[in-house]
Chain A
Amino acid sequence: MNFEEYAAKPLLKAAGILIPRGKIAGTADEAEAIAAELGASVIKAQVPTGKRGKSGGIALCQTQGEAREAALRILGMNIGEHTVRQILVEEQVPIAKEFYAAVLNDAASKGPLLLFSSEGGMDIEEIAESHPDKLVRVSIDIRKGLDRGALSEALPAIDGLSSTTLSEALSHLYSVYTDNDAELVEINPLVLTDDGTLIALDCKFVLDDSGIKRQQNLSESGTPETLTAAETHAKDIGFRYIELDGNVGVLANGAGLTMTSMDAVRHFGGKPANFLEIGGEAYRLGKEALEIILAKPGIKSLLINFCGAFARTDVMVEGIVTAWKEINPSIPIFFTIHGTGAAEAVAMVKDQLDIEPYELMDDAVRAAVEAAR
């Protein structure tokens, strides 16, 4: 789960990292009032995407009048796919140097990885490309915590910044990561001011989705996934459902098999209309799954690909067969069914729908693609 800047920065503050004074605003009046308190201000669009600066979503304002104008311009503008509804109004900070700092889950070392670069302000990809020698990586054993001595040795010497101040700030950043089940916490830029203090000008925080159940309060500040009404409905039931722009409906069990079914539709020249994964405990809800998938406009054929291990195919198919008879859709349906409960499931499809399931997945996919043409 992603957190926008205004929701991420308070986590830094709570851990002892300085952030600029500021407040969130939803109208030009509010922005003007906040700017009046702050003096020179910076106005930043709050949208869950990068490239805000390049899109004109960030403005430096000397007066409260300028802040008002900037707020009027930025509120309501579109950045990427998002419309700006809120802006962050902050004090301006005198920048001497910009750094990059982050802690994230690292698959290679199977533990937390701390990253620091004395070159900040640009994308981390650019830093890695243009200054690979300046990117410090410190792998951490999560059981033992951050080794401050090892960290200090790895960090570069920076004019005007004591190594203790820097390693202390990074240690605070590591606490933000561990205390909040972070997948990623990133400060870019971390700024050294003219008077020698470190302050976080921006922050990105991603909460581990599997950590949400023990971070309920925190997760309320996160940005929910952008879903269509049907996708939200499916998620509430316990399905993974995504709408696409093709015409072959895909219903399968398990993440791997669902992805593979879509790959096969593409491989044989078709385009998926949507896909619904009916895995885990939700495998009993075949009827609900079918209703969701058929409601998608433009769907011309339906592929059902089940391979039961944990999920019983007979239970999944029973729900689908019952619903199919009730709804009586006008589009053709193509089955391929294997694994746990397959003999009963195949018999059910033959007897009750008078349809012959395909023995091979490729044949079922080809037929579904052909029928959608």
Chain B
Amino acid sequence: MIVRGHETLLVQGITGRQGTFWAEKMRDYGTRIIGGVNPKKAGTEHLGLPVWGSAVDATSEQRIDVSVLFIPPLGVKGAVLDAVSAGIKKIVVLTEHIPVHDVMYFLSAASEAGTQIIGPNTAGLVTAGECFVGFMPAFNEKVFQPGRVGVISRSGSLGTLVCLNLVQAGLGISSFIGIGGDPIIGTTTRAALDILNNDERTDAVALIGEIGGSMEEEAAELASEMDKPIACFIAGSASPAGKKMGHAGAIVVGNKGSYGGKKQALEAAGVSVVPTPSGIPEVLSEKLAARD
């Protein structure tokens, strides 16, 4: 998903330490925060904004396009179901370490209601120069400048580095989409790539993958049909083997998941796979110059 500056945002968990800190940062940058949710503080104000008892209460009074959650792991399922019931169509789930059964549960509910979910375990979304949702350093001018490269990342820290490298090279960012580092997430690499492919402001894509799972391989299928240039870095080529994955897990993804398999699938689809993140701006500068 991409969030634009005109869209309204609800912050579930706005009164907590992180909720407060990032709500202010988001508002200062230009995000239209309408208010927040805390069931224990319904009817009060926080940061000069209304606090509702639930997302359902909030949408009964205000139009809300997007909700972001600053909620601890075991409270996330209830909070997402609340936002889905409230009819909010875009939900950003930042929390790490949510039980996977809870994730599958709220993804199923969201899917049935036609609600998009980003995350869990993401640093969020940035529309450079316009708004951001989550905890990316959008306000840091060395890291984010408006431009024409869309960035997809599973990781916040590595995504930050790549945005910085793009800006250092004189390229700007259209949208940053943090899809999240969990094994099961609402918006996959392929879905995020599809969004950037249809985004008028995006002329090229920086794709930051990771070993494990098969999302990069699925994205490669779409990449082969795209005209916009894509450069990709896949983290984890030197990671020690043998983490996670039972036998039955291995079968579902077949032989997919390794660095070599992902690199091969993406290169076959015409994507440039670079050995360190600094290669991304080099490749995209060249390819964009060739097209212009």
Contacts and interface: CB of A to CB of B under 8 A. Distances in A.
Interface string A44-81: 00000010000000000000000000000000000000
Nearest to B106: A143
Interface in A182-214: 183-184, 186, 204, 206, 208-211, 213-214
Interface string A340-373: 1010000000000000000011100100000000
A229 B160 CA distance: 33
Contact of B237 (A254, A263, A279): A263
Interface string A125-156: 10110000000000001110000000000000
B101 A272 contact: no
Contact of B137 (A110, A256, A259, A339): A339
A187 B204 CA distance: 47
Contact of B248 (A184, A308, A309): A184
B104 interface: yes
B252 interface: yes
A360 B142 CA distance: 13
Contact of A266 (B153, B213, B238, B250): B238
A254 B210 CA distance: 13
Contacts of A280: 96
Interface string B100-115: 1100110111010000
Contacts, number: 190
Contact of A309 (B96, B108, B157, B237): B157
Interface string B152-166: 011111111100100
Main secondary structure of the interface of A (DSSP, over half): mixed
Interface residues of A, number: 65
A105 B109 CA distance: 17
Contacts of B246: 104, 183-184, 186, 204, 206
A253 interface: yes
Contacts of A111: 104, 107-108
Interface in B252-292: 252-254, 275-278
A110 B277 CA distance: 29
A306 B99 CA distance: 29
A239 to B, nearest CB: 15
A254 B238 contact: no
Query: What is the size category of the interface that chain B forms with chain A?
Result: 35 or more
A242 B236 CA distance: 14
A71 to B, nearest CB: 27
Contacts of B73: 210, 213
A108 B251 CA distance: 12
A169 B271 CA distance: 47
Contacts of B159: 256, 309
Contact of A113 (B108, B158, B252): B252
A362 B158 contact: no
A208 B100 contact: yes
Contacts of A340: 137, 140
Contacts of A141: 108
Nearest to A338: B164
A111 B101 CA distance: 8
A361 B237 contact: no
B74 A104 contact: no
A310 B101 contact: no
Interface of B: 73-74, 96-101, 104-105, 107-109, 111, 123, 135-137, 140, 142-143, 153-161, 164, 181, 183-184, 186, 208, 210-211, 213-215, 233, 235-240, 246-254, 275-278
